[in-house]
Structure 1
Amino acid sequence: MTLTLVTGGTGHLGRDIVDRLVGDGHHVRLLARSPGARPDVEWAVGDLATGVGLSDALQDVDTVINAATYSPIARRGGVRPVDFFRSPSAVDVEGTERLLSLCQRQSIRHFLHVSIVGLDDATLPYARVKLAGERLVRASALSWSVVRAMPFYYLLDKMITSFAWLPLWPMPTTSFNPVDTSDVADHIVACAFDGIFGERTEIGGPQDISIAELGGQYRDARGLHRKILPVPMSEAKARGMGFVISRGARGRLTWADWLQHRYSVTHQAA
């Protein structure tokens, strides 16, 4: 049986990827800074940012799914002024370069890299870091694939929650199609084992929705009483912020359905 190494396997997307792999009968090894509790996978202790444990983690591996990333915005669930000036690159650039080099030495059959839709026009430092890492993959001599995905529902939920206490929510009217990690995981696992390499079809959610409408659905799902102020945004500014509409595969779960599942038990008026 072939062995698949997943980096970032303890994150939101990574957990869904691992669930799909295990459900499909794959032998899975997770790279993590400390071993977790789930018994249906192998745990390899290591760190992309430092390189510790990477060589051992790749022993006997056939396929690598690189879902690791470090986004301060995602970690804290909100944007701070510093995010417009810099973003750490130890995982997404140096870590990716280190992983690629080791994979080449160990003759990995397939290296699949998870990236983000719209990076070429995005201006935020995190996006530039992600693009730099993606370019390293594309320049590699390995048999590689790149799958770009739209922003995830759980992250948008965290970001709106961070300012949900405000009585007025200024929100752009520009549209995009965010997606759930479960749909992205299905697409990634399919791309990892279909024998096709290179740039793969990007994936977004099933619905084109304005940010203002997205905020309104969140507000209603939470039972909040807030006023939304629609704010026009130029196309260039929207693309710079990563608000685009993907043109590839479409997931199945809508934002409204995700919210219903997320808040059906915790729904409270405020």
Structure 2
Amino acid sequence: MALTLVTGGSGHLGRDVVDRLVRDGRRVRVFARSPRTRSDVEWAAGDLATGAGLHEALRDVDTVINAATDSPIARRGGVHPIDFFRSPSAVDVGGTQRLLSLCAESGVQHFLHVSIVGLDQATLPYARVKLAGERLVRASALSWSVVRAMPFYYLLDKLLSRLAWLPVWPVPTALFNPVDTSDVADHVLTCAFDGQRGVRAEIGGPEALDLVAFARQYQTARKLHRKILAIGLSEAKAQGMGLVVSEGARGVLRWADWLQRNDPDMRNAA
């Protein structure tokens, strides 16, 4: 049976991708720095930033789904001043280059790279790093696919939760359509195994709303009462921040429904 390697398989999107591969009866190997305990997949310990363990992880692999990334904003759930000046590139650029090279040596038949919608106009350092990694994939001689996705609901939840202590929330009014990782995972699997290659349809959430509307739904779901100070942005500034509306595929899970499913009070009660 063909073997699929998932990098970033222990992350939010990666876990959903792995779950669907297992559900579909596919043989799965997960490349991670800290292997987990689930026994329905193979684990390969290593680090994409250094290349440790990567050669062994690619043994007998037919398809690679590269969902690995290093976003300090996502990791900490908030924006720090340093994020406007630099972002680490060891995983998204160096690691992608190393992975592509070893995939070619190992005879990998399909390399699917998960990227981000709107990178061509985005100006934040992390976006520039992601774009550099994506360009490496597009220039590769491998048989490749690129799937761009909108920012994930879990990240929006983290960012808004960090505003909870403020009496007034400064929130941009720009339109965008974040998406759940479960919908992105479904789209990624379709693109991985439908035989097509190249730049695939990007995917976003089902609702294109301004961030103020998303923040109000968040407050309603979390029973918060805070004043929202709407901040207008030019189109160029919104695009620079990654606040865009995707074209192509749309997920099905709405933000309000995601908030209900991920209510911390319900999780604690369970």
Query: TM-score category by the smaller chain?
Result: over 0.9
Residues 218-233 of structure 1 mapped to structure 2, 5 A cutoff: 218-233=218-233
Code of the aligned partner of 1:103? C
TM score, norm. by length of structure 1 = 0.98
Instruction: Give the equivalent residue in structure 2 for 1:263.
Output: 263
Q: State the SS of the aligned residue for 1:100.
A: helix
Secondary structure at the counterpart of residue 68 of structure 1? coil
For residue 262 of structure 2, give the secondary structure of its aligned residue in structure 1: helix
Counterpart in 2 of 1:75? 75
- Matched to 2:259, the amino acid is L
1:267 CA displacement = 9.8
Q: Is 2:124 the partner of 1:129?
A: no
Q: After TM superposition, which residue ranges in structure 1, 4 or more long, deviate above 3 angstroms?
A: 264-268
How far apart are 1:34 and its partner, in Å?
Answer: 2.3
> Which amino acid is the alignment partner of residue 65 of structure 1?
I
Residues 50-101 of structure 1: CA deviation (Å, up to 9, x unaligned): 0000000000000000000000000000000000000000000000000000
- Provide the rounded CA distance (Å) in 2 between the counterparts of 1:264 and 1:249: 30
Match of 1:186 in 2: 186
Residue 131 of structure 1: SS of its match in structure 2? Answer: helix
> How many Å apart are 1:264 and its aligned residue?
7.1
Q: Quote the residue 1:119 is aligned against.
A: 119
* TM-score, normalization by structure 2: 0.98
Quote the Cα distance in structure 2 between the aligned partners of 1:177 and 1:34: 32
Counterpart check, 1:138 vs 2:100? no
| Equivalences, count | 268
Q: Distance in 2 between matches of 1:37 and 1:266?
A: 26
Which residue matches 1:170? 170
Aligned residue identity for 2:140: S
Q: Does 1:54 align with 2:54?
A: yes
Q: Is the contact made by 1:223 and 1:267 (CA closer than 8 Å) also made in structure 2?
A: no
Which amino acid in the other structure matches residue 196 of structure 2?
A: I
The 2-side partners of 1:264 and 1:121 are apart by 35
Unaligned runs of 5+ in 1: none
1:84 is aligned with what amino acid?
Answer: F
* % identity of equivalent residues: 72
Provide the C-alpha distance between the structure 2 equivalents of 1:81 and 1:92, rounded to a whole number of angstroms.
21
- For 1:216, what is the secondary structure of its paired residue? helix
**Corresponding residue for residue 205 of structure 1:** 205
CA distance in 1, matches of 2:143, 2:266: 46
TM-fit CA distance, 1:195: 0.5
Matched, 1:243 2:243: yes
Output the amino acid matched with 1:217: Q
Shift, 1:175, TM fit:
0.6
CA distance in 2 between partners of 1:266 and 1:85 (Å): 39
Distance 1:140 1:260 in 2: 42
Return the letter of the residue paired with 2:129: V
Say which SS state the counterpart of residue 30 (structure 2) adopts: strand
1:57–1:264 CA distance, 2 compared to 1 (3 A): closer
1:215 correspondence with 2:215: yes
1:253 and 2:253 aligned: yes
CA-CA distance at 1:266 after TM superposition: 4.3
Q: Deviation digits for residues 211-268 of structure 1, max 9, x if unmatched? A: 0010000011000111111111100000000000001100000001101111274499
Contact 1:221 1:267 in 2 (8 A): no
CA distance in 1: counterparts of 2:163 and 2:14, whole angstroms: 27
Whichever residue aligns with residue 247 of structure 1, its letter is: E
Q: CA deviation at 1:176?
A: 0.4
